[in-house]
């Protein structure tokens, strides 16, 4: 049996985490909520107050969590793009080339994380100047931290916090959530790109199988596609409600990344859990919440200009269609919709250019040379079908219908979707678990201080 020497600058803790068996991670993962320094756990005869100081995560520990949500290589476009009778199938649905640590519908990469710790609140951006395969080979502490630092963009010079009452915190969470020493990772999902891309994918079905969009929140009217039904491009007998599409399934990406984080926490021997986070309007900074609780992350909210919808039709219009729409954080995370785009036709054009323009994903064979064997990348670029012009024009009509009807895009969901949960990672107070539980933690938690910090509990 051969052994692989660990890199000189790879710490014992990092090496142990990277070598921790997958099934051990799965079977030993538990929510372990009590961190070092927790002031009070009021629970009758099971009450507890930590006698230890809060212990923030080190840069290496946080970097490994960031990597668990990051880029891990290049995706494979391993799909057919020609039907049995030789007609085009969409072979260019992806919105990104680099693959991530969890699956994503059409590789939209729509989930963005904000990291919160004692030093501030950060947006985790995807750096452009790193090797997408960086995290796949042996990696040192220094490489990992350098990667994480390229991802971190400071938003606030403090831990994001609100009063520890409802609706900011729910019930018992206020005692153990977002405490000093903890690191929080909260997902925000930009639905705008994949909403448009998903419409295009739906309209790329063969003749007779393209659905006709209707608006189930506006008396089931045609959603801007009457002419496309009349000319036979869409099938009126295959109606699809806009509300039925909801998030276009893109929210599942955040769920998978959150599971990655839970597994990473267990492999590292930290404590942590997934639980209710600040609700979307509070987290992002809706004006009504801002007045009472604070500014949150400071997102831009656009008020719908359609007074009829906002006032007269409000009783029959479900949320969020008449509410202000969180469209982005200026200069940091901007949705594919006004005011960041001139109009919805321009938004569709931007997405099309992102794929097929002069610098588009499907324009340069170099984008795929890291995954195809030579010279197949060029063959793929030359042969893969693009969205047809009829598809693009029809999607523009649907998007403009949504904007013209509701004064926002999307209307049936928010542009920036907040799943409403976050992950907390912290150093566990082992004394609490020793005092109250049989087998309250696994060997990774028992050995964490020794492996990662060179000391015992």
Q: pLDDT band for position 186 (50/70/90)? A: very high
The order of strands in the sheet holding 333-334 is 300-302, 325-329, 333-334
Contact predicate 100/71, CB 8 Å: yes
Query: Does some domain include residue 3?
Result: no
Whole-number pLDDT of residue 3: 42
Count of domains in the chain?
Answer: 1
pLDDT digits (tens, 9 = 90+) for 318-337: 989 999 999 999 999 999 99
Query: Does some domain include residue 36?
Result: yes
Question: What CA–CA distance (Å, rounded) separates 56 from 149?
Answer: 17
Measured CA to CA in angstroms, residue 58 lies from 131, 150, 152, 278 at distances of 24, 16, 15, 25
Q: pLDDT band for position 178 (50/70/90)? A: very high
pLDDT digits (tens, 9 = 90+) for 2-18: 344 444 478 999 999 99
Contact predicate 367/94, CB 8 Å: no
Query: Does some domain include residue 5?
Result: no
Measured CA to CA in angstroms, residue 97 lies from 256, 364, 368, 371, 374 at distances of 19, 12, 8, 10, 18
Place of tokens 């729409």: 325
* pLDDT above 50: residue 21: yes
The phi, psi pair for 9, rounded to 5°, reads -105, 20
Question: What CA–CA distance (Å, rounded) separates 302 from 326?
Answer: 6
**Chain-centre distance of CA 168, in angstroms?**
21
Query: What's the mean pLDDT when you consider all of the chain?
Result: 93
Whole-number pLDDT of residue 82: 85
Query: Does some domain include residue 309?
Result: yes
252-265 mean pLDDT: 97
Query: Does some domain include residue 7?
Result: no
248-275 mean pLDDT: 96
Contact predicate 148/135, CB 8 Å: no
For 396, the domain range is 12-453
Place of tokens 């995706």: 75
129-153 mean pLDDT: 87
Whole-number pLDDT of residue 132: 78
pLDDT digits (tens, 9 = 90+) for 58-101: 999 999 999 999 988 888 988 888 888 888 888 889 999 998 99
Contact predicate 365/358, CB 8 Å: no
Q: SS3 string of 383-428?
A: HCCCCCHHHHHHHHHHHHHHHHHHCCCCCCCCCEECCCEEEEEECE
Nearest CA among 204, 222, 220 for reference residue 212: 222
Q: What is the CATH classification number for the domain harbouring 193?
A: 3.40.109.10
Question: What CA–CA distance (Å, rounded) separates 223 from 229?
Answer: 11
For the whole prediction, is pTM greater than 0.85?
Answer: yes
Whole-number pLDDT of residue 329: 98
pLDDT digits (tens, 9 = 90+) for 338-379: 999 999 999 999 999 999 999 999 999 999 998 999 999 999
* pLDDT above 70: residue 414: yes
Whole-number pLDDT of residue 134: 76
User: Which sign does the torsion angle of CA 300, 306, 311, 317 carry?
Assistant: negative
Whole-number pLDDT of residue 85: 83
Query: Does some domain include residue 1?
Result: no
Query: Does some domain include residue 448?
Result: yes
Q: What is the DSSP string of 112-156?
A: EEEEEETTEEEEE---SSS-TTGGGS---HHHHHHHHHHHEEEEE
Question: What CA–CA distance (Å, rounded) separates 20 from 266?
Answer: 9
Place of tokens 């000391």: 455
Q: Where are the alpha helices (DSSP H) in 29-115?
A: 59-67
pLDDT digits (tens, 9 = 90+) for 192-243: 999 999 999 999 999 999 999 999 999 999 999 999 999 999 999 999 999 9
Least confident of 90-104, 129-143, 271-285, 405-419: 129-143
Write the DSSP symbol of residue 324.
P
- Bridge partners, residue 425, by sequence: 183, 272
Q: What is the SS3 assignment for 347?
A: helix
Q: Measured at the alpha carbon of residue 133, what is the angle toward residues 128 and 134, in degrees to the nearest 5?
A: 80
User: How, if at all, do strands 111-117 and 325-329 pair?
Assistant: unpaired
Whole-number pLDDT of residue 7: 44
User: To 10 degrees, what angle do helices 389-406 and 192-202 make?
Assistant: 130
Query: Does some domain include residue 4?
Result: no
Q: What is the SS3 assignment for 177?
A: coil
Question: What CA–CA distance (Å, rounded) separates 33 from 24?
Answer: 20
Nearest CA among 123, 184, 187, 180 for reference residue 155: 123
Question: What CA–CA distance (Å, rounded) separates 406 from 243?
Answer: 13
108-124 mean pLDDT: 97
- Scored b (16 or more CB within 10 A) or e, 59-71 reads ebbbbbbbbbbbb
């Amino acid at each position: 049996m051969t052994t692989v020497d660990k890199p000189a600058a790879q710490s014992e803790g990092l090496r142990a985490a990277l070598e921790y068996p997958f099934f051990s991670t799965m079977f030993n993962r538990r929510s372990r909520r009590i961190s070092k320094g927790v002031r009070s756990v009021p629970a009758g005869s099971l009450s507890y107050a930590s006698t230890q100081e809060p212990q923030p995560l080190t840069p290496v520990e946080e970097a490994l969590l960031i990597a668990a949500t990051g880029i891990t290589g290049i995706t494979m476009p391993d799909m057919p793009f020609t039907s049995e009778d030789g007609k085009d199938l969409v072979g260019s649905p992806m919105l990104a080339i680099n693959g991530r640590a969890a699956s994503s519908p059409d590789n939209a990469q729509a989930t963005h994380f904000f990291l919160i710790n004692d030093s501030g609140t950060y947006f985790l951006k995807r750096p452009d100047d790193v090797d997408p395969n960086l995290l796949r080979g042996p990696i040192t502490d220094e490489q990992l931290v350098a990667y994480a630092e390229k991802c971190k963009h400071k938003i606030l010079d403090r831990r994001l916090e609100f009063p520890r009452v409802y609706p900011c915190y729910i019930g018992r969470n206020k005692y153990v959530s977002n405490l000093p020493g903890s690191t929080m990772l909260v997902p925000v999902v930009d639905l705008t790109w994949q909403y448009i891309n998903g419409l295009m994918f739906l309209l790329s079905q063969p003749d007779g199988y393209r659905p006709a969009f209707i608006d189930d929140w506006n008396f089931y009217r045609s959603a801007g596609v009457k002419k496309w039904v009349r000319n036979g491009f869409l099938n009126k007998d295959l109606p699809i409600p806009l509300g039925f599409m909801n998030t276009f399934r893109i929210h599942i990406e955040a769920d998978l990344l959150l599971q990655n984080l839970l597994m990473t926490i267990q492999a590292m021997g930290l404590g942590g859990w997934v639980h209710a986070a600040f609700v979307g309007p509070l987290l992002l900074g809706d004006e009504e919440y801002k007045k009472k609780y604070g500014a949150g992350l400071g997102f831009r909210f656009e008020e719908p200009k359609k007074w009829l919808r906002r006032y007269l039709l409000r009783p029959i219009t479900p949320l969020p269609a008449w509410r202000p729409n969180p469209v982005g954080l200026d200069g940091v995370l901007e949705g594919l919709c006004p005011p960041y785009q001139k109009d919805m036709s321009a938004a569709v054009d931007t997405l099309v250019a992102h794929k097929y323009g002069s610098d588009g994903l499907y324009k340069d064979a170099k984008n795929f040379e890291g995954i195809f064997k030579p010279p197949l990348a060029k063959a793929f670029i030359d042969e893969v079908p693009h969205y047809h012009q009829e598809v693009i024009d029809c999607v523009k009509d649907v998007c403009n219908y949504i904007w013209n009807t509701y004064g926002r895009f999307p209307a049936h969901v928010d542009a920036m979707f907040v799943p409403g949960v976050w992950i907390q990672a912290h150093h566990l107070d082992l004394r609490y678990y020793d005092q109250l539980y049989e087998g309250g933690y696994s060997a990774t938690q028992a050995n964490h201080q020794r492996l990662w910090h060179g000391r015992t509990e």
